[in-house]
Chain A
Amino acid sequence: MNWQAIALSLKLAVCVAAILLAAGLPLAYWVTFSRWRWKFLVEGIVALPIVLPPTVLGYYILVGLGPRHLGGQIWQSLFGHTLPFTFAGLLVASVLYSLPFAVQPFAAGFEAVDRHLIEASWTLGASRLATFFRVILPLSAAGAVTGVVLSFAHTIGEFGVVLMVGGNIPGVTRTVSIDIYDQVQAANYDAANRTAMALLAFSFLTLAVIYGTNRRALSIWRRP
């Protein structure tokens, strides 16, 4: 079994979930509470990765952000390298690709919070930030957990984008899904089977544990 690939996938998924937690919460807050009339355009952009095949994102990262185009040249001058074939590249691709899987559950959670409680908090003198952390977020914890879990899981399961822009470098971009693909191509069915089985068991366990605790978390928060 390729532990290096498994470790890499875990690292990628943890990073993506952390970034999406940090960036997704404010974005979801804005999407939920903004009254801007063109808000739907932003919602549309956030949801794009659900509709688009990974090849579209992969293509734009490879070619649009490649050294022959402006976007890639800007990136190169800032960071000294282009995105494809790097861990940073996979990170950027995965964050974009998993964005709706974090933002939508977050926003759904915020949406479900009783507006009266938020307004009561404001009238009692709590700032918007304090209201967010002490009223909105605790009441929508289930949505937040779901968003983090889904973005984590979605990154573990990512394949198409990585295949297009990864370059299959061991320890850098050879994620576990790519490793399984390679093993199948090389007709090493035993190796493929072992890794696939491990991934299957791991994914199921993670989801089971998190859904299990999530339910308890829910009941804790809902108790008055």
Chain B
Amino acid sequence: MRNRIRTARSISYCAGLFALVFVISLRTRCASAKLQSGAKPCGTVTVAAASDLTYALNEIAANFQKATGCAVRLSLGSSGNFLTQIENGAPFDVLFSADLAYPLKLEARGLAVPGSTYLYAIGKIVLWTREGSRVDVTQGFSALRDIRIKKIAIANPEHAPYGRAAEEALRRSGVYESVKGRLVLGENISQAAEFVESGNADAGIVALSLTLSPAMRDKGRSWIIPENLYTPIQQGVVIVRAAANPQGAQQLLDYIKTPATAALLERYGFVLPARIPAARTP
């Protein structure tokens, strides 16, 4: 008797569980149906982007989705890593690189749509410290000679365009030898910023676009590094040849070229290519 009750109880548990799973799956199906019904047939664009675009591109993606109905699936990381991944078949439709060389390299190897590379902005770097730091960076690189600055974060110059620019600026301004032993390398520019933001590094050379983001804007002080100290960080976007959604990718690329997006990029501290027509042709 007791056994039977137990069996009955477990059956009802199972039934309950099944019902729950069914309801959940129904709900998600309904939700996705709703999304699709509001969208044009362009579906989802899968985007790989350099991490200096972390904040700007989230906003651009939201606007793009509102304007066209295409969803954007965004992966942020280092340009070099994405290059390697795309060379090895990563399923991205579009690559936003922090470097013009990587998209061109993809084109040259036949892995990107020929002629689709577009210089959408020029990135800037700043010397940045947290609010409350004892060192005043607003006086420039000379502040780095201060021995109280024990660690200086930059992105890895070997493969991160912002890191390359940071190293170049340090060399050209003559402080490289004095800071060399104190450099810590972020895997990408976001990690370099995170090292400073968490207080583990005393100063860092990071992307202006990151320091202007809502997350970092009021947290530190910065000094914009003079542009004559480093080769312009040309930001290139390209459509991947094996894109699963080439139409969506093209739509996104067209959207990047609109004045609204340009204004947004400018707000995040990027210099627009229109201002520097000479750099337009790589």
> A-side interface residues toward B, CB under 8 Å?
62-63, 66-68, 72, 81-82, 84-85, 163, 167-169, 182, 184-187
Contacts and interface: CB of A to CB of B under 8 A. Distances in A.
Contacts of B183: 169
A186 B151 CA distance: 24
B80 A85 contact: no
Nearest to B83: A187
A66 B201 CA distance: 9
Interface in B145-185: 150-151, 153, 156, 158-159, 183-185
Interface in B80-97: 80-81, 83-84, 87
Given A84-B200, A169-B183, A186-B158, 7 more contacts: A62-B198, A81-B150, A85-B184, A167-B153, A182-B158, A185-B158, A187-B87
A169 B195 CA distance: 13
Contact of A167 (B78, B87, B195): B195
B168 to A, nearest CB: 16
A161 to B, nearest CB: 13
B110 interface: no
B257 to A, nearest CB: 29
Nearest to A69: B199
Given A163-B187, A167-B151, A169-B183, A185 B80 contact: yes
B198 A182 contact: no
Given A167-B184, A185-B78, A185-B84, A82 B200 contact: yes
Contacts of B187: 163, 168
Contacts of A167: 151, 153, 184-186, 195, 201
A186 B159 contact: yes
Contact of A84 (B78, B84, B159, B195): B195
18 contacts: A62-B198, A62-B200, A67-B200, A85-B151, A85-B200, A167-B185, A167-B186, A167-B201, A169-B185, A182-B158, A182-B159, A184-B81, A184-B84, A185-B158, A186-B80, A186-B159, A187-B83, A187-B84
B84 A168 contact: no
Contacts of B80: 185-187
A202 B187 CA distance: 26
Contacts of A81: 150
Given A84-B195, A184-B84, A186-B80, A169 B184 contact: yes
Nearest to A72: B199
Interface string B46-90: 000000000000000000000000000000001011011001000
Nearest to B132: A68
Number of contact residues on B: which range applies?
20 to 34
Contacts of A66: 198-200
Contacts of B83: 187
A187 B199 CA distance: 32
B156 A68 contact: no
A82 B87 CA distance: 39
B198 A63 contact: yes
B97 to A, nearest CB: 13
Given A168-B184, A169-B184, A85 B159 contact: no
Contacts of B198: 62-63, 66, 68
Interface string B189-233: 000001100111100000000000000000000000000000000
B156 A85 contact: no
- Interchain residue pairs A-B with the least CB separation, the first 7: A167-B184, A168-B185, A185-B80, A186-B159, A67-B199, A68-B199, A185-B159
Contacts of A182: 156, 158-159
Contacts of B195: 62, 84-85, 167
B188 to A, nearest CB: 9
Nearest to A188: B158
Contacts of A185: 78, 80-81, 84, 156, 158-159
Contacts of A169: 183-185
Contacts of B156: 168, 182, 185
Nearest to A183: B158
A71 to B, nearest CB: 12
Nearest to A81: B150
Q: Which of B153, B195, B199 has the most CB of A within 10 A?
A: B199
Contacts of A82: 199-200
B156 to A, nearest CB: 6
Nearest to A182: B158
